[in-house]
Amino acid sequence: MRIHLGLRGKLVVVSIASVVIALAVSTFIDAHLARRAFTQRFIAEVTRLAKELAAGFGGSLEFDDWTTLTQKIHQIKEARADIRHMYIFARTPDNGWSLLASDEDPPTGRLSRQEVASLTRGRTLMDFHVEEDLHLWQVTTPIRADRQLIGALQFVISGVAVQADVAKERRQTLLMLAATVAFVSVALTIFVQRAVYRPMRRLVEAMQHAQAGSLDVQVMSRGHDELAQLTDHFNRMLLKIRQDTTEKEKLLAQIQQFNEELQTKIRAATQTLEQRNQELQRVNEALFHSQRQLAQWERLVGMVYQSASIAHEIGTPLHSIAGYIHLLLNDPQLSSDARRRLHIIESQLDRISDTLRTMLSSTRQPSPQIKPLDLNALLGELLQLTTPGMTRRHVRLHTDLQEDLPWLRADSHQLQQVFLNLLANALDAMPNGGDLYVETALEEDDGCRSDQSGRCVAVRIRDTGQGIPEEHISKIFDLFFTTKDAGQGTGIGLAICSQIIQAHGGSIEVQSQLGEGSTFTVRLPLGT
């Protein structure tokens, strides 16, 4: 059985879970730190006790009296119930150790190598172990007389006090955790009920009324939180709908009145036209058909120009897309299923390209949107975009971009269209491979509106392709003039490039020799 929680329930559950987790982690850390603090305090107290007891056994005469030592051990155990066993060892002349006195009968205590080594260095050694869930500490400390090591005191003390302190601290922490969780749960429930659930319920009820057709409903909003903003937006939306509905009704009434008036006028005009002779009627019909045909031609021309601009914008990036697909197809690790899908994509791109070629035409470019532009960065992005096409055609790229080239003020979108077109034409001119040179430089020129220093930025794109016949160079920027085969070009791209560069106050020119390649030079003013 699945439990479906509303928004209020989800908020409360998530919030409480977060608080419980945070408090649980904090409780665990606090308990760990408390246990360590209690343990450290216990160790310090036991160490001090061991030194005090060892000092009490320091008298040499008393140290040799076995009866006195045994009585003193039992006195200490009666005073300290937490001491379970106690042993006193004497150091023999041969640096050995012998058990002098103990609370056990017979005595069983002995010193380990680690304890002997610690006593020799004059240190107190504490060894922790657990016996039947009881924490025990075995303490071994040296006994000195006149600064000479004469023996050792060893006793086993229980850590019950530490365990009790830790248990008490744990109980208090758990009680605090439970109280905190309970308080947070109640507070969150009340808060969500007032701040979230009630406003959401009012908003949902208003939506239901609006859905039923009652647009006069309005929700009261309180505060400035997101729900209040949502409520205000909902109220404004209903107000806008009411206004639009009123306007629509008025408009429909006006349209109906206009139709009635128009029908009256049409009936009157029809009665007048019926009185015309048939010859005048034929003339009017012929004139009507001619005007309609002329309007259709005008609309068609406008659609052609607009389609050309759109198709040219789409066609140029298709070269890059097709190039990346070709690179993927050349990947030997490509799966057969992925290769089949890429072939499908490639065939569909070819269909799109064929469709675009049939639609291409020319329109005027819009006015440039002038902004500061880093020309070298723009060319770098375009060269990266056309890299797959260069790889597929085995074209080698050579760049010489002048460093610290001043920024232009130009339309980056239009210049991107110009240089993409020039790069695409250069690649088309080298179907069997070649070299592509892209250069930028700052130079002086009178062919563009430069700044006061007479400087322009020049971009040269040179290929080693087929070249352009001399008789075609003068017409290369004419609209609809192309040297490509039918279906491969429309003669629009370079015409649009020329329009864009002229709109920027620059110039574009071409130098070409048949069979050796072409160089297109674009000069743009710095002060555009």
d(CA 14, CA 467): 72
What is the value of pTM for the model shown? 0.36
Residue with tokens 């002995």: 110
Question: What pLDDT does 299 receive?
Answer: 43
8 A C-beta contact, residue 150 and residue 97: no
Question: What pLDDT does 284 receive?
Answer: 41
Query: Which of 406, 439, 415, 403 has the alpha carbon at shortest distance from 506?
Result: 415
Question: What pLDDT does 61 receive?
Answer: 42
Amino acid identity of 517?
G
Half-sphere exposure of 446 (CA within 13 A, CB side): 0
The CATH number of 366-525, from 3.30.565.10, 3.30.750.24, 2.60.40.10, 1.20.1440.230, is 3.30.565.10
Question: What pLDDT does 362 receive?
Answer: 45
Residue with tokens 């000069």: 523
- Please enumerate, as own/partner, the contacts of 50-59 that have beta carbons within 8 Å and a separation of 24 or more: 50/124, 50/139, 50/141, 50/153, 50/155, 51/124, 51/141, 53/141, 53/153, 53/155, 54/141, 54/142, 54/143, 54/144, 54/153, 57/88, 57/143, 57/151, 57/153, 58/143, 58/144, 58/145, 58/150, 59/145
Question: What pLDDT does 173 receive?
Answer: 77
Question: What pLDDT does 519 receive?
Answer: 95
SS3 content of the chain, % helix, strand, coil (to 5): 60, 20, 25
d(CA 528, CA 202): 59
Question: What pLDDT does 407 receive?
Answer: 92
- Per the structure block, which two tokens stand in for 123? 């240190």
Question: What pLDDT does 361 receive?
Answer: 45
Residue with tokens 């892209």: 438
7-166 maps to which CATH number?
A: 3.30.450.20
Question: What pLDDT does 506 receive?
Answer: 92
DSSP character at residue 449: -
Question: What pLDDT does 484 receive?
Answer: 67
Question: What pLDDT does 298 receive?
Answer: 36
Using DSSP, state whether 405 is helix, strand or coil: coil
Cα 492 to chain centroid, rounded: 41
pLDDT means per 10 residues in the chain (528 residues)?
59 72 75 72 78 69 66 78 82 83 75 83 81 78 82 82 72 80 79 72 74 72 71 77 83 89 86 69 40 37 55 73 81 83 80 71 63 93 88 93 92 91 91 94 70 79 92 80 62 84 91 92 84
Q: Which residues contact 478 (CB under 8 A, 6 or more apart)?
A: 491, 495
Peptide bond into 142 cis (omega under 30): no
Q: Which residues contact 82 (CB under 8 A, 6 or more apart)?
A: 157, 158, 160, 161
Structural domain boundaries in the chain: 7-166, 278-340, 366-525
